């Protein structure tokens, strides 16, 4: 598996205290699929009445587990539900055998926990193209079921990682009609060693009571401005999965008009999304790219992603070089409308260029000093309309090459 990677310099100080979610219990186990001396399987049980919503990779070569989850996510039931995740083997591009493994695993979980098979969601992350040996997992399901605990989520954050350099968690408690509603989530992100893949897995739980279609529409909408607005290298995994489960244990009913709940969920999703970027392969800078003044929000996102995915922009940031010319280049190549002569660019508070040329008061020295920060903000105003978007990314460094080229499994 190559050497253990050092903890990202952008990592948070520690793992947060997550609120306990009624109706959720979690256990982990060591199945030894690829890693040893650490948990690599997580099992979560959701109480009867839980609603589960999901967003999945749009890859045309998505994994068997993703296809299985997608087929089940709209199944409405008052029965309980379960989530099974393993790290070490992605069970992706494994043909019919991959589908059989998903079926065997979800059926076994259904039997052990007495929930419908159509309510068992699974995910796998790790090496691709190797058959998933599901027996080591099914053999441990009895022990996992016995170990299910309301406090298991923090340990689960450690079980689902592959080569992440820190476990990722986020939680909040919001008040609805004066009553507390809790939200807690975990994620794994884009650390990997060849031939693993940078799968993003996110599991968020709340004790709010929400109808599944409403939960799904809230999650889909919030996903657009959180997880869909982060990028490490523009590559898309075959297995990206976000599940949000609402157990209803708080007894507080949430609708699409519950702004406090949506804001709390958005905060947790954005925090986890940012943590994934902060653990980007080789990252030394956390970069916020804001685009305003576009013809539409969609155009703004196209520009922001072009900037955030540009290897030339990302290497310049790694080199602490205020290379605004590369930002102009990225805007130009994005395919969305732009007018050179109405472009304005800021690095942080520094006005770099406006009206199609460098700002006469621009100081390269001041900009170079700004680029030494660990958190960098690039703001482009197109001067065309009211469209806006924000995208988060990291820099492209020797560390990325080290992780993806130099190590061999």
Active site residues: 199
Separation between Cα atoms, residue 198 and residue 316, nearest integer Å: 23
Q: Write the CB contacts of 291 (distance below 8 Å, at least 6 apart in sequence).
A: 300, 301, 303, 304, 307, 379, 380, 381, 382, 387, 388, 389, 390
Q: Which residues does residue 127 pair with via DSSP β-bridges, in sequence order?
A: 89, 196
Report DSSP letters for 249-293, one per residue: TT--B--TT-HHHHHHHHHHHHHHHHHHHHTSTT---EEEEEEEE
**Least distance between a second copy and beta carbon 338 (Å):** 4
Nearer to a second copy, 282 or 348 (CB): 282
Residue with tokens 């090459």: 401
For 218, the 3-state DSSP assignment is helix
Q: Which is nearer to a second copy, 146 or 405 (CB)?
A: 405
- Nearest distance from residue 409's CB to a second copy, in Å? 9
Q: Which is nearer to a second copy, 69 or 144 (CB)?
A: 69
Residues that bind a second copy (CB under 8 A): 57-62, 92-95, 97, 127-130, 194-195, 197-198, 233-238, 309-312, 315-316, 318-319, 321, 323-326, 328-334, 336-341, 343, 353, 355-358, 395-398, 400-401, 404-408
Smaller CB separation from a second copy, 79 or 329 = 329
Instruction: Rank residues 91 and 275 by Cβ distance to a second copy and give the closer one.
Output: 91
Q: What is the closest distance, in whole angstroms, from the C-beta atom of residue 400 to a second copy in the complex?
A: 7
CA torsion angle for 30, 33, 34, 36 (degrees, to 10)?
Answer: 20
CB of 14 to a second copy, least distance (A): 30
Please measure the distance between the N-terminal and C-terminal CA atoms of the chain and give it in whole angstroms.
5
Map tokens 């089940």 to a residue: 72
Q: Pick the closer one to a second copy by CB: 271 or 281.
A: 281
Task: In angstroms, give the least distance from the CB of 402 to a second copy.
Answer: 8
CB of 185 to a second copy, least distance (A): 25
Q: DSSP character for 84?
A: E
Greatest Cα pair distance in the chain: 71
User: Alpha helices, DSSP H only, in 54-170?
Assistant: 64-72, 95-113, 135-138, 141-147, 153-159
How far is the C-alpha of 217 from the C-alpha of 270, rounded, in Å?
17
């Amino acid at each position: 598996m190559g050497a253990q990677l050092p903890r990202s310099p952008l990592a948070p100080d520690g793992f947060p205290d997550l609120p306990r979610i009624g109706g959720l219990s979690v256990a982990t186990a060591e199945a030894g699929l690829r890693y040893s001396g650490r948990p690599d399987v997580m099992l979560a049980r959701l109480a009867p009445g839980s609603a589960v919503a999901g967003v999945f990779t749009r890859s045309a070569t998505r994994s068997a587990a993703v296809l299985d989850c997608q087929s089940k996510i709209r199944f409405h039931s008052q029965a309980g539900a379960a989530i099974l995740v393993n790290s070490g083997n992605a069970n992706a591009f494994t043909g019919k055998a991959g589908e059989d493994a998903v079926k065997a695993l979800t059926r076994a979980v259904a039997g052990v926990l007495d929930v419908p098979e159509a309510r068992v969601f699974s995910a796998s992350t790790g090496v691709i193209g190797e058959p998933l040996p599901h027996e080591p997992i099914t053999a441990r399901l009895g022990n996992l079921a016995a170990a299910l605990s309301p406090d298991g989520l923090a340990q689960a954050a450690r079980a689902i990682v592959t080569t992440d350099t820190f476990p990722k968690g986020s939680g909040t408690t919001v008040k609805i009609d004066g009553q507390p509603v809790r939200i807690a989530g975990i994620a794994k992100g884009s650390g990997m060693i060849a031939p693993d893949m940078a799968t993003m897995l996110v599991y968020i739980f709340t004790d709010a009571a929400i109808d599944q279609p409403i939960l799904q529409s809230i999650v889909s909408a919030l996903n657009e401005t959180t997880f869909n607005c982060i990028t490490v290298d523009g590559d898309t995994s075959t297995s990206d999965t976000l599940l949000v489960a609402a157990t209803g244990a708080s007894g507080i009913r949430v609708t699409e008009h519950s702004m406090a709940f949506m804001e709390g969920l958005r905060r947790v999703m954005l925090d986890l999304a940012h943590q994934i970027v902060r653990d980007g392969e080789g990252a030394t800078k956390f970069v916020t790219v804001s685009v305003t003044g576009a013809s539409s929000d969609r155009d703004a996102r196209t520009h922001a992603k072009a900037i955030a995915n540009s290897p030339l922009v990302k290497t310049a940031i790694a080199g602490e070089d205020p290379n605004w010319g590369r930002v102009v280049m990225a805007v130009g190549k994005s395919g969305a409308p732009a007018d050179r002569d109405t472009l304005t660019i800021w690095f942080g508070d520094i006005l770099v260029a406006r009206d199609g040329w460098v700002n006469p008061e621009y100081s390269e020295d001041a900009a170079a000093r700004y680029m030494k920060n660990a958190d960098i903000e690039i703001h482009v105003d197109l001067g065309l309309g009211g469209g806006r978007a924000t995208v988060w990314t990291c820099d492209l460094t020797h560390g990325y090459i080290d992780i993806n080229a130099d190590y061999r499994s």
